[in-house]
Amino acid sequence: MVPFAMLTLLLAWQREIQIGAGVLVIGFGILLLIRRRHLRALARIPPSRLALWSFSIAIAHGAGLMLVPIYLGLCRSFDLDGGHQAARALIGANVGLAFLVSGVHAAAMFVAGGFLAWLVYRYLGLKFVSRSWFNLDAVWASSLILVGTLSLAFRA
């Protein structure tokens, strides 16, 4: 998050950075469509290190990329709803408080996700999970290509 947040300091290069980021996102999406294999190293993490495995999987699947549309310029500052206005005011007024809010949000998502995973494991079992699993990699890769294309279209 910090490297993308620091991009706001580079206003003189904003257009070039946004074009480069759009091309990078399109390229990443194309790479994901072409190369469908997952890294084998992630499958070799022992179950005793579940937190490390979960973090590795999130990083490998681009969890931080959800913030890229903001820095590609797709999220404009005009015509914002109340939640976006509050977030913009918070980040502009107090960066420390913004990091605190981000940390509390991450902790709440971690607890909620862990609780739901435990419920599925406890009451539905692993056979349910293995039979009902579906792969959204192609959808995700296509959405990256679409977002990158839209960012380039609105930059030109």
Q: Which helix (H) or strand (E) holds 77?
A: none
Q: Is 113 contained in some domain?
A: no
Q: Where are the beta strands (DSSP E) in the chain?
A: none
- Structure tokens belonging to residue 15: 């257009």
Question: In this predicted structure, what is the pLDDT of residue 37?
Answer: 72
Question: In this predicted structure, what is the pLDDT of residue 38?
Answer: 65
Q: What percent of the chain has pLDDT over 90?
A: 9
Q: Is 27 contained in some domain?
A: yes
In 10 A of CB 58, how many CB atoms? 11
Q: How far is CA 5 from the centre of its chain?
A: 14
Mean pLDDT, range 127-151, rounded to an integer: 82
Mean pLDDT, range 104-112, rounded to an integer: 90
146 falls in which pLDDT band (50, 70, 90)?
A: very high
φ, ψ for residue 37 (rounded to 5)?
-75, 145
Higher pLDDT: 104 or 42? It is: 104
Q: Is 151 contained in some domain?
A: yes
Range of the structural domain that residue 15 is part of: 2-95+136-155
- Decide: 57 and 38 in contact? Cβ < 8 Å: no
- Structure tokens belonging to residue 82: 């109340």
Residue environment code for 108-136, b if the CB has 16+ CB neighbours within 10 A, otherwise e? eeeeeeeeeeeeeeeeeeeeeeeeeeeee
- Structure tokens belonging to residue 74: 């797709």
Mean pLDDT, range 83-109, rounded to an integer: 74
Q: Is 119 contained in some domain?
A: no
Question: In this predicted structure, what is the pLDDT of residue 88?
Answer: 67
Question: In this predicted structure, what is the pLDDT of residue 30?
Answer: 92
Q: Is the pLDDT of residue 115 over 90?
A: yes
Task: Quickly tell me which residue has 């480069």 as its tokens.
Answer: 20
Q: Is 25 contained in some domain?
A: yes
Report how many domains make up the chain.
1
pLDDT tens-digit profile of 27-77?
A: 988 988 898 776 666 567 676 777 777 777 777 666 666 666 655 555 655
